[in-house]
Amino acid sequence: MCYLAFFVSLVVSLSLPRSNALQSVSQHLEDVGVGETSAETFILSRAHKLKRIALIVRGEAYRSDDGQNQQHSRDRNGSVPEQRSCTRTQTSGIVKPFEAAGVSVDVFSASYHTDAKRDAALVDVWNSTGALQKYTWCPEEGEQGDCAVTALRTVKKHIQKRGTQYDFILMIRHDMVIKTNAAGVAVLPEQLLRRNWDKGLWLAPFKMTQEMRFFGDRVPDTVQAFSPQYLELMINVSRQWPYEDILLELLKEVDREHTGYIVQYFADSDPAKFQNPLYDFCLRDEGPKAPQYDAVADWLRTTASS
């Protein structure tokens, strides 16, 4: 159950005045380490004004697990059906929900060559959506940052050539499975539609659980959602991929009040360590919920019933 549901049930059930209830929730989340995010943001959503977004899908496709279920144990040995299954969760869990909400999606793919058959199959899946604007191939000798820069520059060139205006840019990975909740709703687009992108935002997916948060601003580097004004900054930051230091790098140029998290949750970049409500990795088992999540959930339930 995500924090949005906890917040709603808590505010409804508490006898405290609404503003006090929100303050109580927000204060406890600060105490356990959620960070500088207002509970108000996630209870009061507005009708969105979004018209068009850019979706970047970067990195290795066809990643497979050698049975160890570890972050660095995979290679590009997956089959066409396996990758197609993962990619279709991205089309059904991101492209279709935004389009259903009246938001156009332009897709930009950047990945590594595998073989002719699998390369073509990957492009074909995205072409079938009608949303693919450009696909490029990342330098084989490069690092993760080189592939991210390739993808980001493709979007920049598209904007310069076409004059397209995007409300925000969402960057994910080819090896992701986009999750849905118990109601069959993909949490990722549902949360992004709630945000006020007019003021300029840069969002990480969620906060690292305390066990994995070796420093205060360590965040997962798997998903980024950001206003177009930060596109050039993202290109510069990605030249040497910052991994979980990415928020630290952004904060050198961006005010903290313009940063945040897509969902209020505690997990790890790698869902095989601690699961999250946004995504899994293709062909990898999902791990448990982080202990910190259970502690906050227990506190919220106790508070709501007292």
Per-position DSSP letters for the chain, written without gaps between them: --HHHHHHHHHHH--S-HHHHHHHHHHHHHHHT--S--HHHHHS-------EEEEEEES--S-EE-SS--TT-EES---HHHHHHHHHHHIIIIIHHHHHTT-EEEEEEEE----HHHHHHHHHHHHTTT-EEEEEE--TTS-HHHHHHHHHHHHHHHHHHH----SEEEEEETTEEE-B-TTS-BHHHHHHTTS-GGG--EEESSEEPGGG-SSTT---SS-EEE-GGGHHHHHHHHTS--GGGHHHHHTTTS-GGGEEESS--EE-SSTTTS--SSEEETT----PPPHHHHHHHHHHHHHHH-
- The pair of three-digit structure tokens given for residue 297, joined into one six-digit string: 């959930």
In a domain, 196, yes or no: yes
In a domain, 305, yes or no: no
In a domain, 123, yes or no: yes
Q: Who contacts 114 (Cβ-Cβ below 8 Å, separation ≥6)?
A: 61, 62, 76
CA distance 239 to 143: 9
In a domain, 113, yes or no: yes
Of 46-60, 159-173, 257-271, give the lowest mean pLDDT range.
Answer: 46-60
Give the chain's domain count: 1
In a domain, 15, yes or no: no
In a domain, 4, yes or no: no
Mean pLDDT of 128-134: 98
Please give the pLDDT value at position 166. Answer: 98
pTM, two decimal places: 0.83
Q: What is the domain-level CATH number for residue 161?
A: 3.90.550.10
Mean pLDDT of 98-126: 97
Structural domain that includes position 281: 48-289
> Residue 300 above 80 pLDDT?
no
Mean pLDDT of 161-181: 97
In a domain, 14, yes or no: no
> Residue 231 above 80 pLDDT?
yes
What percent of the chain stands above pLDDT 90? 70
Please give the pLDDT value at position 28. Answer: 43
In a domain, 12, yes or no: no
φ, ψ of residue 59 in degrees (nearest 5): 90, -165
